[in-house]
A and B are shown apart, each in its own frame.
Chain A
Amino acid sequence: MSEQVEKKYAAYICTGCGIGDRLDAGELEQTASRDGRMNLVKQHEMLCSRDGVQMIRNDIDKEGVNHAVIIACSRRAKVEAFGFNDIAMTRCNIREGVIWARPDTDEAKETTQEMANDYIRMSCGEIKQMEKPTASGQQSRNPNVLVVGGGITGMTAAIEAAEAGYTVHLVEKSGALGGHAARLHKRVPFKAAPVGTLNSPDANLPMPEDTGIADMIATVEGNDNIKLYLNSTVTKTSGAPGRFSVDISTESGDTTTENIGSVVQATGFNLYDPENLPEFSYAGSPDIITNLEMEELANAAGDGPIKRPSDGKEITSVLFVQDAGQNSTEEGRLPYDSGIGDLVSIKQALYFKHHNGASCDTTICFDNLRTPGAPGEDFYRSGQKNGVIFTKSDVREVTPGDAISVKMHDKILDENVEVKVDLVVLDLGMVPNSGPDPYAANEALEGLSDEDKAEELETQAAHAADETSVKVESILNLDYRQGTDLPHLKHGFTDSHFICFPYETRRTGIYAAGPVRRPMDMKQAMDDATGAAMKAIQEIENAAQGRAAHPRVGDLSYPTFRKEGCTQCKRCTVECPFGAIDEDEETYPVYNEARCRRCGTCMGACPVRVISFENYSVNTVGAQIKECDIPEEWDEKPRILVLACENDAYPALDQAAMSGEEISPWARVIPVRCLGSTSLSWVTDALNNGFDGIILMGCKRGDDYQCHFVRGSAMANERMAKVGDTLETLNLEPERVVVHEVAITDIERAPALIKDMEETIEKIGLSPFKF
């Protein structure tokens, strides 16, 4: 389409913010028109002003400018002023990238001007490879939200989305709404004591309160925007945000297919199986119960005292075993702590103080008492105030009997004691109700030798073939190439971008909320559900316009591939962190634009370089590398290419310049969408062009990753491990290419890393590839 319109290139140079004082604007203009071959070059003393923006707008409207380079500040500044969405546009950073990064001295003047000229050449080269991004039009606005799970999280998400005017399809596996919360006698209070409540044994402190579940169920049932599917499961999910096709099947097998815009998975948790903890003899006595059974016992008591399940005796003493089977290093136990068990036990101990009187002995045996949330500390004090006894101890053995014997080690008094009680309550951990992890098989292979890998694959195959082995049931039954369900993050909890975007999963348009993504209590689950509902709504609106979800929110570009060149190697479909790419019958990749986050990891993965975005491709970066002027060897001016992740490393360098850190005059920084999009060809091209060193700056990878695209930086690192071979064939020193993890806070470190490379080059000498 754009082929037919004549391309008109324009460059706009801002001389404000000191640019005009520090640099020779006339020379910049000449560089843009002569080297950059721009059809139109203009200067403005304050380009981001209304007048400056209007000047560009006029050129677009009247002069037919459709490709523009804004030569001014960083792409992270003045985003709104320069938001020309109807043309192909790039930003050339000569403020943070050049004048602020260099000292204002006579000696530095020459190299500073060279830097700015280079960046202009690079941007002019880049813009020639760019096209205006346009939405694919693959989907239209679909205001239907699917919520999977009818517990407190699912109901909250449904109510929030419905009240915002969206239609909600709420699917619940069981016959009733409410989930675990409906079984609770009371809930942990939501509010702390009023500010200024004194520390005192008779302060007015929060107490267990009504769960509010009945009201919430009534709200869901009474809302016309919520369509309820009880006794139902999701049997198939295909498509992409804005055009999901979801099969909802009842137990009897009736299936309805709904068109869905986005999905919230709120499948909650199950309690850890106490039968796995033989030392607590759960199976040995009806008077040794789980924390959920305790709720039912309290419900059964009505207004009277709580009675023992075995013989109906009124309970006079109860002991709570905290963290039963949690925080454990033992195989088969939970390596984590649910975190909320102490609040629950305080609540339940208070049931006894209320129903069975103040003289009922309630002992909570804890190791690390944790009471998260706003009312946490006050609720702990409330328990203490009402005479709940807390003892830091390690419960070693529970023996059934008329009086249950509990052997424990008191850690404060450092002694072994045995106490006898009427009832023992086990604080069991929350186990996420996740679907099978699509990457489990791959993760088991990580770091193994080829031999061990083959063995592991065999074991996995045998396990899959074994009909008696326990198989996790799929929840979403995604019809994706990369597995049926959301990936897991850790310990079986469903994915979330834990560091920045808690509801985002690696499956765009599907949001995990509540205890399925991390252990949490009712209040947190409700907040979580609200957040997820908002993300679901946002995604519906984004998908309708073909806009990307986080972190490139609003991006209209999406990947396409040149079919003739594709070798069907499947690398893109495997490496896409978001499972956005399916395969057609001929095993060619199928890009689902609405599932794509625009990181470009597929592009970096492609060995034949056929994948590109309209405004970001192997060529856009390649052109920048090519257009950078490489001085002759005897000039003794090295060139260092920095490929910096636009999410963390690039802003860190901007910030460094803003705080007065100097950046090497030899560095030429090119922002990349994610280090995962880095093509090995850029490295080879740069070395061949005579760059003396290359620094790749990406985000932290691994379990505590900071990569905005989760796996992008890990993928890049894997690929760059092979860069040594390239260097070897070129007969170059391996030190010339380095990969660093750079955080957004590495304001001093990022320039220092470039300085290090400068020193390395000084040591090993300039590249021999300067022609």
Chain B
Amino acid sequence: MSETNKAMIEQYRNSFLSEVEANVEEGEWVKMCMQCGVCSGSCPLGKHWAHPPQEIFMMIRAGKRDEVLTSDSMWMCTSCYNCVVRCPRQLPITHIMHGLATYAKKLGLAPKNQPTARFAEIFWNNMMKKGRVNELKLGLSLYFKDGFGAGIKESLRNKDLGMKMMKAKRMAASEFFGGHGVKDIGGVQKMIQKAQEIEDARMKKFD
């Protein structure tokens, strides 16, 4: 069977919908969307999304697995919850968007160099080191994410703000060296690892 034929057969089938239902947080809600478009109309960043939520839901039902999972759309969500509040079917749209993003990342399909995806990764790695977020380092790693030159430029641009924050004791330069953490960071890491194992075990295999 040719690839085109296979793709044709997969369209408007339950396969990808079932996958989302099984593996994406709150994914079982996707089938309940009635395509009214209120979410898309309510999203403050809606016009910057390649596919607003309503369309994402339709794409899932249409079986567009790759297009959905490689899309940067769900990474655009700022968790303002406007859509959730307004959805007449009460779908937890924000959660589904983050669920889809997480699932795409897990499968290695998330778009590379997408700023919010990068930030999420930086945030996670930062937090996993000490069990709490080191704000100084988080800020700096964000500045330097696109290379040393860009980092210096960005840091200089924000230096006044940084100085003020230090003056107001909102930020400590000492945090750069190690920084403080939780009492039992080993325990936290173990806990997270266990949680990941449980989640992975629950994931159903689809390809």
Residues of A within 8 A of B (CB): 199-202, 317, 319, 358-359, 361, 363, 369, 380-381, 384-385, 387, 389-392, 403, 410, 412-413, 417-420
Contact = CB atoms under 8 A, between A and B. Distances in A.
Given A384-B31, A419-B8, A317 B55 contact: no
Interface in B1-60: 8-9, 11-14, 17-18, 28-29, 31-35, 54-55, 58-59
B52 to A, nearest CB: 10
Contacts of A200: 32, 90
B28 A201 contact: yes
A413 B32 contact: no
B32 A392 contact: no
Nearest to A316: B13
A403 B8 CA distance: 11
A417 B55 contact: no
A353 to B, nearest CB: 10
A201 B31 contact: yes
B112 interface: no
B89 interface: yes
Contact of B13 (A361, A381, A390, A417): A361
B130 interface: no
Given A413-B59, A413-B62, A419-B8, A387 B14 contact: yes
A359 B62 CA distance: 15
Most buried by A among B9, B14, B55: B14
B98 interface: no
A391 B31 contact: no
30 contacts: A199-B32, A201-B28, A201-B32, A358-B14, A361-B12, A361-B14, A369-B34, A380-B34, A384-B31, A384-B32, A387-B17, A387-B18, A389-B17, A389-B31, A389-B61, A390-B61, A391-B61, A391-B62, A403-B9, A412-B58, A413-B55, A413-B64, A417-B8, A417-B12, A417-B62, A418-B8, A419-B8, A419-B9, A419-B11, A419-B12
Contact of B58 (A358, A381, A391, A418): A391
Nearest to A383: B31
Contacts of A392: 35
A201 B57 CA distance: 15
Given A199-B32, A201-B29, A389-B61, A412 B8 contact: no
Nearest to A388: B31
Interface string B125-169: 000000000000000000000000000000000000000000000
Nearest to A380: B34
Nearest to A405: B8
Contacts of A389: 12-14, 17, 31, 61
10 nearest A-B residue pairs (beta carbon): A199-B90, A412-B58, A201-B28, A363-B12, A361-B13, A389-B61, A419-B11, A384-B31, A384-B32, A419-B12
B8 A391 contact: no
A411 to B, nearest CB: 10
Contact of A413 (B9, B18, B58): B58
Contacts, number: 69
Contacts of B28: 201-202
Given A199-B32, A200-B32, A391-B61, 14 more contacts: A202-B28, A361-B13, A363-B12, A384-B33, A384-B34, A387-B17, A387-B31, A389-B17, A392-B35, A413-B58, A413-B59, A413-B62, A417-B62, A419-B12
Interface of B: 8-9, 11-14, 17-18, 28-29, 31-35, 54-55, 58-59, 61-62, 64, 89-90
A381 B32 contact: yes
Nearest to A360: B14
A410 B34 CA distance: 15
A202 B14 CA distance: 17
Contacts of A319: 12
A346 to B, nearest CB: 12
Contacts of A420: 8-9
A358 B9 CA distance: 17
A359 B17 CA distance: 11
A642 to B, nearest CB: 49
A417 to B, nearest CB: 6
B85 to A, nearest CB: 14
A392 B35 CA distance: 9
Nearest to A366: B35
A412 B55 contact: yes
Nearest to A387: B14
B105 to A, nearest CB: 24
B71 to A, nearest CB: 13
Which of A201, A392, A403 is packed against the most chain B CB atoms within 10 Å?
A201
Contacts of A381: 32, 89
A392 B9 CA distance: 19
Contact of B11 (A359, A380, A417): A417
A417 B62 CA distance: 10
B29 A359 contact: no
Nearest to A410: B62
A486 B150 CA distance: 84
Contacts of B54: 412
Contacts of A412: 35, 54-55, 58
A380 B17 CA distance: 18
A420 B90 CA distance: 33
Contacts of A202: 28
Contact of B89 (A199, A413, A417): A199
A392 B18 CA distance: 20
B14 A359 contact: yes
A387 B33 CA distance: 11
Contact of A390 (B9, B35, B55, B89): B35
Contacts of A361: 12-14
Nearest to B10: A419
Contacts of A419: 8-9, 11-12
A392 B11 CA distance: 14
A574 to B, nearest CB: 52
A418 B5 CA distance: 10
A492 B13 CA distance: 40
A199 B34 CA distance: 12
